[in-house]
Every structure is written in structure tokens, then in C-alpha cells.
Amino acid sequence: MIEEHTLNFGSLVLDLKAHEARVDDKPIALTPKEFDILSMFAEYPRQVFTYEQLLERFWDGIGDKHTVTVHVGRIRDKLEPDPSSPRYMVNVWGVGYRFEGVRK
């Protein structure tokens, strides 16, 4: 049974209430900020978020594109089978990122 606080994308499942992420039923160790970033993307699949939007939301506008890139890279390293060819957190060149997942 899928509950309101669970985002299920097949092999990736986020439990928003428990603040947990699992890939292939294995827990993924994310920092609180990484979890917050991933869950925001997962709540709005296919929506592009610009670097500026992400900086404003998660860093109060302090930082630059590199700040976002580093955090997304860390999430990809933990989440993706092949971080160099991501299937969930994809780059929209020159704009930002979007989440490619279909909710189950």
C-alpha cells in the first residue's frame, strides 16, 4: 500500500515522513540537505528547476552554480547506478536540473 508520505518510483522509494531514501530496497545515506533536494525534485517530476531557484530555496541565495552542481553530483553518486549517465537527476543544459521518474 502506497501512503501519502511515500514517493515510489519503482527502484527508488522516498519516505518523506521517515526522511529515508531506498534504491532497490537498500537504504541510501543522504545528508538532510541532499534528502530535501531529492524529495523536492521527486515531488515535481519533469519540472525544470534553475540553478538560481535551487540556490534561493536551499541556500538562501548564497553561493553559485557550482554549489548546486556539487550537491546534485553527490546525490547522483549515491542514487544512480551510473552517475555519469543519470536516469533520475538529469541536467537541462544551460538551465538547471529536472527529475526523470514516473510515480508508481
Residue 80 belongs to domain with CATH number: 1.10.10.10
Residue 22 lies in a domain: no
User: Whole domain around residue 84: which residue ranges?
Assistant: 30-99
Residue 63 lies in a domain: yes
Confidence (pLDDT) at 1: 42
Residue 78 lies in a domain: yes
Q: What is the pTM of this model?
A: 0.91
Residue 18 lies in a domain: no
Count: domains in the chain: 1
Confidence (pLDDT) at 41: 97
- pLDDT-derived band at 72, boundaries 50, 70, 90: very high
Q: Which residues contact 1 (CB under 8 A, 6 or more apart)?
A: none
When pLDDT is averaged across residues 22-34 and rounded to a whole number, the result is: 96
Residue 5 lies in a domain: no
